[in-house]
Amino acid sequence: MSYAIEMRNIRKEFPGIVANDDITLQVQEGEIHALFGENGAGKSTLMNVLFGLYQPDQGEIYVHGKKEFINDPNDAARLGIGMVHQHFMLIDKFTVAENIILGREPKKHGALDMAKAVKIVKELSERYGLDVDPNKKVEDITVGMQQRVEILKTLYRGSDILIFDEPTAVLTPLEIKELIEIMKRLVGEGKSIILITHKLKEIFESCDRCTVIRRGKNIDTVAISDTNPSDLASMMVGRKVNIQVNDAPYDPKEKVLEIEHLNVLDSRKVDVIKDLNLTVHGGEILGIAGVDGNGQTELIEAIAGLRKVKDGSIKINNDDVTNQKTRKIIEAGLGYIPEDRQKHGLVLDFSVGENMVLQTYYKKPYAQAGILHNKVITKKAKQLIQEFDVRTPSEKTLARSLSGGNQQKVIVAREVDRSPQLLIAAQPTRGLDIGAIEFIHGKLIEEKKKGKAVLLVSFELDEILHLSDRIAVIYEGHIIDIVNPKETDENELGLLMAGRKKGGNEA
Amino acid sequence: MSNLLKKVNWMTLLIPIVSVILGLLCGAVIMLIIGYNPVLAYQSIIESIFLQPYYGGETIRAMIPLVLAGIAVAFAFRTGLFNIGVEGQLLVGWFASVACAICFGHLPKVILLPMSIIAGGAAGALWGFIPGILKARFKVHEVISTIMMNYIALYTTAYLIKNFLYTEGERTPTIPAAASLASTFLANLTQGSRLHWGFVVAIIAVFAMWFILWKTTKGYELRAVGFSPDASKYAGMNVSRNIMLSLTISGIFAGLGGAMEGLGTYQYMTINSAFTGIGFNGIAVALLGLNTPVGVVLSGALFAGLQTGGLTMQSDAGVPVELIQIIIALIIFFVGSGYVIKWAFGRLSRKGHK
């Protein structure tokens, strides 16, 4: 039987690391095949080998049953292999059609034939149900739409084997649903798909078969109908996975965060938080659910003193911190795990040790009279690295060279160790693998048990449902409803997130 | 993993070394083409610097402002800022130190000398602070504003000398001995070179850069803001204030460099019709020195040595001294194309494996 893609016994070594060790991947014609593994397991390396970016040290690649040597991405494209990148490679100022034809433009008498381009794009879009407007500029369309443009780019180049690299990382729940439908339709039209992911839910919703790799080795290839999520998770991690549950009884204590009639403008001077009221108590995890762009980011920035409050008040421990300096708010008891960990959470070119004291470097015992006590900082860093299981060669390693999960652990270690009364966690597990997610969820629950207030903002409904004691749904800048996670489900939340209150009334 | 890190460090060190070698080699090729003897030329440079005390002294003398300028650039660079205004900061520092020395000439040396040095540093600080506040408050890019500040410095100092401190020879009067860094002891030691006590100031500055950046909380903040203004802001640091502070401190170093010329080498200031070039060479010194304090000293020594040794090269080997400028330019060119060197070495070592 011939496979759309067959990679046999692939081995790829980098100095000091065997990224792929004897991996075999067989993708049948017309199936959605998941490539499942933790961050750093070797998924990307394997796909880069297939895409011609790396040359394997050993092993063979067969495309539609024929042995091929893929020397560069052009070879891959010629063989009909297309990649939908995680980070979109689009030009914002260009229209959808312009982006799609870029590099292979239809011509008429030597000049660009834009009308034809638009027509081709429209046809492709209709055929696969992508519903993309070829004349819109990329900067004006949503992230989900941009991803469809990426898909169209590969289709336009005639790909019949599509690699999706962590495609759902940037999508909202609804967009994920739509993407899965699109993938199914693509397969229906005879394409084959490799889905790189570390999310179990997607695999069970979309895939036919799944190849699990761990630490560069092939673990198994299984049919999805023959397995279950917890088996697959254990296969990926290599041990039994403990799904962390918020099992501590809900016992709210005094008010820690009190927001009253908050109004905030966004960067374009548009009201983005409108008369928002919210209270978080000690000993609870309050989850904020909502579609991206409904004011979550601005709300957190306002609490942290990073964005000006137009009106209303924010109190932490009865301390009015409205429009105070960030440092003062931090000292008043705020801990903050920012959404963009690389941009806002870490100084990437600082060592892990230096990052551990990013808010406390000027205080005893880390400094005295303006002089740093590097020995104390190193000692603290070593202690936190051990306590939070940060996988790093040493505390002197640059934060930049850690994996995403370990970078997040550095941030969590730093914030939790300061023992803040209020801990804000924004998308704390985005892009992380199961092991790291498990760890970070555990830490959040631990903080709750210690009687701290935890404000969790996440686009992952599962995460919100899983961890929260109360769920506040944010819609167009205010809290549309607060629900009990035990009495709600994804459907109700989904409706609330779209602005519909119970009983079908428009809010 | 630690192996990998060692490799990276070794590679970064490799670039300046290879650049210097390539620069000297290319210089030799140029000499050959024009018809000079490169061996003789380089030999005369090395012999003069290391065997003749006068040239040795002059080399150290030339190093003083170069190192200070290099420290100024490197300090700003370490905090994420590109200070092209070292030349201007150096000029105002030079002028302020000389003016202070002349105006308060009646004071005793213990007061006047430190005061004149401080005046130089303070003037440089002001010249750094202005682009700093422009960037912090109005987001004016420091590269543009510091370049412009160079011209303001050049012509303002010329105007001030002409109208207030003018003496024959298009210059200021000579400063009183009480403000001078010159030393007969050092001059005798080096057979009459202009070596002066300013090297002590330069050493202190080198140490200060290291100490401020890596040992103090302010330095930690400055580096954090330099690497990532966003993360620093989220951590509660005041980004604007740190930008101003960084350029001000950088300006102090540059201003001190000017003061060393005024109080040490020349004992006066001429009306400059063009830039001294020391500030711009400081950029090259910092670049070649990988923006580290020790690296700045080493590359400062190299540039100073080439410049002083170039004079004997002209007399002994007949090679025009301008060739030295070409060699310096070539070295900078190779440092700038460090990526190419890295790439070439990568290719070579990979070939070696196969």
Question: Tokens 């011209």 label which residue?
Answer: B151
CA distance B53 to B63: 15
Nearest to B177 by CA among B270, B108, B259, B256: B108
pLDDT at B350: 58
pLDDT at A489: 84
A394 touching B (Cβ < 8 Å): yes
pLDDT at A502: 61
Q: What is the 3-state secondary structure (H, E, C) of A460-480?
A: CHHHHHHHCCEEEEEECCEEE
Three-class SS state of B271 = coil
- Give the pTM: 0.80
- How do the pLDDT tens digits run along chain B, 354 residues long? 333 344 446 677 888 888 899 999 999 999 999 999 999 999 999 999 999 999 999 999 999 999 999 999 999 999 999 999 999 999 999 999 999 999 999 999 999 999 999 999 999 999 999 999 999 999 999 999 999 999 999 999 999 999 999 888 889 999 999 999 998 999 999 888 999 999 999 999 999 999 999 999 999 999 999 999 999 999 999 999 999 999 999 999 999 999 999 999 999 999 988 999 999 999 999 999 999 999 999 999 999 999 999 888 888 888 888 888 899 889 988 888 877 777 777 777 655 443
What sign for the dihedral angle of Cα B339, B340, B345, B351? positive
Work out whether strand A255-265 and strand A32-36 pair parallel, antiparallel, or are unpaired: unpaired
Burial (0-12, 13-18, 19+ Cβ within 10 Å), B184: exposed
pLDDT at A503: 55
Return the number of other C-beta atoms located less than 10 Å from residue A393's C-beta.
14
Q: Are B99 and B112 in contact (CB under 8 A)?
A: no
CA distance A492 to B218: 51
Instruction: Tell me which residues of chain A, numbers 308 to 327, contact chain B at a CB-CB cutoff of 8 Å.
Output: 325-327
Tokens coding A258: 């009190």
Q: How many residues does this entry show for chain B?
A: 354
Question: Tokens 């040493």 label which residue?
Answer: A394
A391: left (phi over 0), alpha (psi -120 to 50) or beta: beta
pLDDT at B349: 66
Q: What CATH number belongs to A253-333+420-501?
A: 3.40.50.300
Cβ–Cβ gap A329/B236 under 8 Å: yes
Q: How many CB pairs under 8 A join A and B?
A: 77
φ, ψ (nearest 5 deg) of residue A341:
-65, -30
pLDDT at B199: 96
Three-class SS state of A270 = coil
Question: Tokens 């794009």 label which residue?
Answer: A121
Q: Residue B214's closest chain A neighbor by CA?
A: A372
Q: Residue B80's closest chain A neighbor by CA?
A: A349
Chain B residues inside the 8 Å CB shell of A374: 215
Which of A358, A367, A397 comes nearest B235 by C-beta? A358
Q: Are B227 and A354 in contact (CB under 8 A)?
A: no
Nearest to A440 by CA among A236, A285, A250, A256: A285
CA distance A370 to B309: 43
Return the number of other C-beta atoms located less than 10 Å from residue B208's C-beta.
17
pLDDT in tens, B216-247: 999 999 999 999 999 999 999 999 999 999 99
H-helix or E-strand spanning residue A421: none
B217 touching A (Cβ < 8 Å): yes
The answer to whether the A5-237 and A253-333+420-501 domains have the same CATH topology is yes
Q: Are A424 and A326 in contact (CB under 8 A)?
A: no
Chain centroid to CA A477: how far?
A: 23
List Cα–Cα distances, A382 to A296, A364, A376, A377, A385, in angstroms: 34, 18, 10, 9, 5
Q: Where are the domains of chain A?
A: 5-237, 253-333+420-501, 348-418
A83: left (phi over 0), alpha (psi -120 to 50) or beta: beta
Q: What is the 3-state secondary structure (H, E, C) of A100-159?
A: HHCCCCCEECCEECHHHHHHHHHHHHHHCCCCCCCCCEHHHCCHHHHHHHHHHHHHHCCC
Three-class SS state of A50 = helix
Q: How many residues does this entry show for chain A?
A: 507
**Beta bridge mates, A457:** A288, A426
- CATH of A5-237 among 3.50.50.60, 3.40.50.720, 3.40.50.300, 1.20.1600.10: 3.40.50.300
Chain B residues inside the 8 Å CB shell of A344: 230-231, 234
Q: Residue A395's closest chain B neighbor by CA?
A: B2
Which of A325, A343, A367 comes nearest B231 by C-beta? A343
Chain A residues inside the 8 Å CB shell of B354: none
pLDDT in tens, B35-66: 999 999 999 999 999 999 999 999 999 999 99
Q: What is the 3-state secondary structure (H, E, C) of A307-363?
A: CCEEEEEEEECCEECCCCCHHHHHHCCEEEECCCHHHHHCCCCCEHHHHCCCCCCCC
Chain A residues inside the 8 Å CB shell of B227: 347-350
Nearest to A79 by CA among A88, A70, A87, A90: A70
pLDDT at A179: 92
Q: Residue A391's closest chain B neighbor by CA?
A: B1
B230 touching A (Cβ < 8 Å): yes
Regarding an ipTM greater than 0.90, the answer is: no
| DSSP codes, A182-211 | HHHHHHHTT-EEEEEE--HHHHHHH-SEEE
Average pLDDT along chain B:
91
**Is residue B65 reached through a cis peptide bond, with omega within 30 degrees of 0 on the bond before it?**
no
- How do the pLDDT tens digits run along chain A, 507 residues long? 579 999 999 999 887 778 899 999 999 999 999 999 877 788 888 999 998 888 999 999 999 999 999 998 889 989 999 999 877 889 989 999 999 998 888 888 888 889 999 999 999 999 888 889 999 999 888 888 999 999 999 999 989 999 998 888 777 778 888 899 999 999 998 999 999 987 888 899 999 999 999 888 889 999 999 998 888 888 887 877 766 677 778 888 899 999 999 999 987 888 999 999 999 999 999 999 988 888 999 999 999 999 999 999 999 999 999 999 999 999 999 999 998 899 999 999 999 999 999 999 999 999 999 999 999 999 999 999 999 989 888 899 999 988 888 899 999 999 999 999 999 999 998 878 788 888 999 999 999 999 999 999 998 888 899 899 999 999 999 999 999 998 988 888 888 888 877 654 444
Q: Are A334 and A296 in contact (CB under 8 A)?
A: no
Report which residue type is found at A291. Answer: V
Tokens coding B341: 């060197």
Cβ–Cβ gap A347/B224 under 8 Å: yes
CA distance A360 to A419: 12
